[in-house]
Structure 1
Amino acid sequence: MTMPGMAGDQRMAMSIGGGAYESGSGTARVPAAEGPMRGQMIHAGGWMLMTHGYAWGVVTDQGGPRGQDEAFITSMAMLMGDRDLSDRVHLQLTSMLSLDPLMGPRGYPNLFATGETADGRPLVDRQHPHDLFMELSGRVDYRLGGKDSLFLYGGPVAEPALGPAAFMHRGSARYLPLAPITHHWFDSTHITYGVVTAGYAGPQLQLEGSAFRGREPDEHRWDIEAPALDSWSVRATWTPSPHWAAQVSHGRLHSPEAQEPNADERRTTATVSYAAGGLTAMVGYGLKAKLPGRALPAWIGEAAWEIGRHHTLFGRIEHVKNDELFPDPADPLHDRPFRVTKAEGGYAYRIALAGPLGIALGGTLAGYAKPAALDAAYGNAPVSWTLFGKLAVGL
């Protein structure tokens, strides 16, 4: 997944099992044709190290009465190390950090996004920032013979086996500057304080289960929160060829929302990913069932097409049923579920810089479909635009 013309030593496959897949975030898989994670590879003694990172500079104008315009920066830096401990045992250590907390607890504007809190109040029409510590994890694989292995993964900050690879690690979302509004249906558990995952990894099938802390990160983004193992999930991933990866997962999360401490959640996701010839795509279905409460479905489809050395076309369409758009109990629309569709498309121009560094310059335009009951709050036909520059190691 490097830009055409980049040196081969800027690519790195971190998985040990081989087969028709590459590693995504946590223990998730993506199609092998998507290519290994982009970054800079370094050999140090018996270790194979990979550095990866990016910084987005973004200006967005989220449309309608509840939309806001704002300039902001998001960032991530990752260091991953692999080595064999013996003929059968392989070790991988991962650290991932972000300076997103500098944005403050309210994050950035993102129309119809909900989830987590700021200053003790629910975030609505805004995307929360990532924590400083996005991942501090380890993984040990024990080779059974051939390309089969058993593995144990986890850490104080890690990602349970629930949902697809997180959006910032999917090729289909690589140039989309804002988080999906379905984030809390598909991949919000990618930062979890306390995870233990055990599984079987074969070249075409992976089966795994996790114990983890169900509560989402709080609004204090600089610390490491107390780990716990009060929730569980299971996931099966099938990679029948280098071009396809399908996963289905289910979990029960204990008290995920700070604003609803007495409510648990059952979460189910199913996604299919495809990659070939510079095209990466994913479609998926997610269901949040509040306990007690209603079941809320969501759909997502996203794709990116890298054309030659410089040009990328990309887009995302989402449909979600959300009952968190009006958190004030005094509001007549409080706790009512509304179906919202967001369609966003854009273009990026990719430029190789020095060594592994590259930059993508581009923009997006988004429109929304919603019920008439939301017109007073959101306007008749809100339209949002975003301009960005993404500086990355292994763009």
Structure 2
Amino acid sequence: MKNLMLTTIVLMVLPIMTLCQTMNMGDTTKTPKGMKKNMPTKHDEMRGMQMQDTTKKPRKMSMPMKSHKMNGMKMSDTSMAGMKMDGMQMMTNSQSLNLPMTRDGSGTSWLPDASPMYGIMLNNGKWSYMLHGNISLRYTKQDLGNKGSRGDDKFDAPNWFMGMAQRKLGQNGLLHFNLMMSLDRLTEGGGGYPLLFQSGESWKGFPLIDHQHPHDLFSELSASYAYSFSKNSDLSIYFGYPGEPALGPVAFMHRPSAMSNPDAPISHHWSDATHITFGVATIGFRFSDFKIEVSSFTGREPNENRYNFDRPRFDSWSGRLNYNPSANWALQVSHGFIKSPEGLHPEENIYRTTASATYSKPLGEEKTVNVTALWGLNKTPDQQGDNSALLEGDLRLKRFAIYGRYEFVQKTTEELVLDPVAYGDETIFPINAITLGLNYDMFKIGPLNLAAGGQLTYYAADRKLNSLYGKNPLGGEVFLRLYPRMMKMKM
């Protein structure tokens, strides 16, 4: 199994390094004979660039965008759109020609404009490309003291890899494509990785409990088109098979506040579980720093076959309001109806409501802080609903990252797969989890960072669960993490 995981990581990393070495990342025009072509170094250094402010009342901010030498840059909240890097045209936001790419979250969601970006930029004529991802080779053990019967341990490698491509169509149009893939099925197996109190989806016809499910090989395959009426207004359409509807915050693996943590939140299925949906159509309209979106999508979660494309149904709906009041903040509220999300309980429909606030701020050279606060509610027509709350943060200080996450979630007898006779048929159990971790960038491999890290999680649940989980169990893990370096933008 260890050899399989190492082989998998090599297969994922090798194409990135090869592509960066063989593809010209600079200007695509021909170099005059006898003159050496100026290409970017292996550190992807960016030269000064000029950009034009597109807002009536610019807000200034200073923003580092790479994991080594950088200078502060001043810009308005929308002036980053269309920047250049060593003669290479950079991407804009996927849903607007007039917004910076740093505002892109997952699907069509928004991050703050001040968010750091980790990726590899490429350019080929009219097309711009970006590659990014995350691989964590680790050992994880849930219930370190063996207090209960539901703990487990595993060597594994949670991972995802993403490519994006975009180009302008005419003066006002923008075409954008996303491809996201994961080899979780190989590195995690069908039953996923151990995570106490986690619930959602199934394996071999039984509910997955105390394990996080693996993600599908094709986690996003989407296309979008945006048309700009002016610098303050855009209309966008998005199709994904699979894709992500306008429901919830930025998915956890794409949030800068969560990027150092290899684990999914145990409240994942209360907030952003629809990030892999087989059949999504979204239309959005932006005016200034507001965007309203509506989606039609498939309610059923991915099935146990992680390699196939599930049948699209378009039987569910959602709406979301996004607002970025400044370059440092991204706010959203959303609500949706999800028809028959769980294959083991096809008769159950869910109404999901979420609200979140994300904060990002550069603190200086190679320093940034990112925080997300999130609330989610799942409610069936005949129940009062189960709540969740999350607060997570990531403080990056050059090569160090200190991160943490607090969660509160209410889970039922059914979700925790408990005996209804012993625990009650409709009992709701409050669960708390606190995670603290450290990440250190040891050295660089081409355009990537290799980091070492570790974390501990403290659980506090309803005492009625002590016979199964023990009192206040602990989870811990150590890992090696491979991910792209932070990009640098400088004026």
Q: What range describes the TM-score normalised by the shorter chain of this pair? A: over 0.9
CA-to-aligned-CA distance 1:24-78 (integer Å, 9 cap, x gap): 000000001113x421111112100111122111211101421111110111111
Identify the residue that residue 393 of structure 1 maps to in structure 2: 484
3-state DSSP of counterpart to 2:114: helix
CA distance in 2, matches of 1:311, 1:364: 14
Identify the residue that residue 411 of structure 2 maps to in structure 1: 322
Aligned ranges for residues 269-280 of structure 1 at < 5 Å?
269-277=354-362, 278-280=368-370
2:383 paired with 1:293: yes
TM-score normalised by structure 2 residue count = 0.77
Question: Is the 2:197–2:416 Cα contact (8 Å) retained in structure 1?
Answer: no
Moved more, 42-51 or 327-336: 327-336
Identify the residue that residue 82 of structure 2 maps to in structure 1: none
CA-to-aligned-CA distance 1:93-128 (integer Å, 9 cap, x gap): 111111001122210000010000011000110000
Pairwise CA distance, 1:335:
4.5
2:113 paired with 1:54: no
Identify the residue that residue 473 of structure 2 maps to in structure 1: 382
Letter paired with 1:99:
L
Letter paired with 2:431:
V
How high is the sequence identity, in percent, across the aligned residues?
37
Identify the residue that residue 312 of structure 1 maps to in structure 2: 401
| Compared CA separation, residues 2 and 291, structure 1 to 2 (3 A) | farther
2:158 paired with 1:158: no
2:167 paired with 1:83: yes
| Compared CA separation, residues 200 and 178, structure 1 to 2 (3 A) | same
Pairwise CA distance, 1:172:
0.2
Pairwise CA distance, 1:202:
3.4
Question: Is the 1:54–1:76 Cα contact (8 Å) retained in structure 2?
Answer: yes
CA distance in 2, matches of 1:18, 1:49: 17
CA distance in 1, matches of 2:90, 2:125: 17
TM-score normalised by structure 1 residue count = 0.95
Question: Is the 2:92–2:98 Cα contact (8 Å) retained in structure 1?
Answer: no
Aligned ranges for residues 40-119 of structure 1 at < 5 Å?
40-63=120-143, 64-65=147-148, 66-102=150-186, 103-119=188-204
CA distance in 1, matches of 2:228, 2:137: 43
CA distance in 2, matches of 1:326, 1:48: 46
CA distance in 2, matches of 1:293, 1:221: 31
Which has the higher Rg, Structure 1 or Structure 2? 2
| Compared CA separation, residues 70 and 143, structure 1 to 2 (3 A) | same
3-state DSSP of counterpart to 2:103: strand
CA distance in 2, matches of 1:12, 1:228: 36
3-state DSSP of counterpart to 2:261: coil
CA-to-aligned-CA distance 1:158-179 (integer Å, 9 cap, x gap): 0000001000000000101110
Across the two proteins, how many residue pairs are aligned to each other? 393
Aligned ranges for residues 1-395 of structure 1 at < 5 Å?
1-5=65-69, 13-15=91-93, 16-18=97-99, 22-35=103-116, 37-63=117-143, 64-65=147-148, 66-102=150-186, 103-277=188-362, 278-307=368-397, 309-323=398-412, 324-327=414-417, 332-333=422-423, 335-394=426-485
| Compared CA separation, residues 284 and 12, structure 1 to 2 (3 A) | farther
Moved more, 267-276 or 66-75: 66-75
CA distance in 1, matches of 2:334, 2:257: 20
Question: Is the 1:160–1:211 Cα contact (8 Å) retained in structure 2?
Answer: yes
CA distance in 1, matches of 2:134, 2:92: 19
Moved more, 210-219 or 67-76: 67-76
Question: Is the 1:263–1:292 Cα contact (8 Å) retained in structure 2?
Answer: no
Letter paired with 1:34:
S
| Compared CA separation, residues 226 and 170, structure 1 to 2 (3 A) | same
Pairwise CA distance, 1:342:
0.2
3-state DSSP of counterpart to 1:82: strand
3-state DSSP of counterpart to 2:305: coil
Letter paired with 2:104:
S
3-state DSSP of counterpart to 2:466: helix
CA-to-aligned-CA distance 1:125-153 (integer Å, 9 cap, x gap): 00000000000001100011123210000
Letter paired with 2:162:
M
Identify the residue that residue 14 of structure 2 maps to in structure 1: none
Which structure has more strand as a fraction of its residues? 1
Question: Is the 2:356–2:373 Cα contact (8 Å) retained in structure 1?
Answer: yes
CA-to-aligned-CA distance 1:307-344 (integer Å, 9 cap, x gap): 1x211110000000001444255652255210000000
| Compared CA separation, residues 74 and 96, structure 1 to 2 (3 A) | same
Letter paired with 1:346:
G
| Compared CA separation, residues 153 and 292, structure 1 to 2 (3 A) | same
CA distance in 2, matches of 1:394, 1:227: 36
CA distance in 2, matches of 1:269, 1:235: 9
Pairwise CA distance, 1:6:
7.7
3-state DSSP of counterpart to 2:336: strand
Question: Is the 2:91–2:166 Cα contact (8 Å) retained in structure 1?
Answer: no
3-state DSSP of counterpart to 1:30: coil
3-state DSSP of counterpart to 1:34: coil
Question: Is the 1:350–1:361 Cα contact (8 Å) retained in structure 2?
Answer: yes
CA distance in 2, matches of 1:311, 1:377: 37
Identify the residue that residue 15 of structure 2 maps to in structure 1: none
Pairwise CA distance, 1:368:
1.2
Query: Unpaired segments of 5 or more residues in structure 2?
Result: 1-64, 72-84, 363-367, 487-491
CA-atom RMSD in angstroms:
1.9
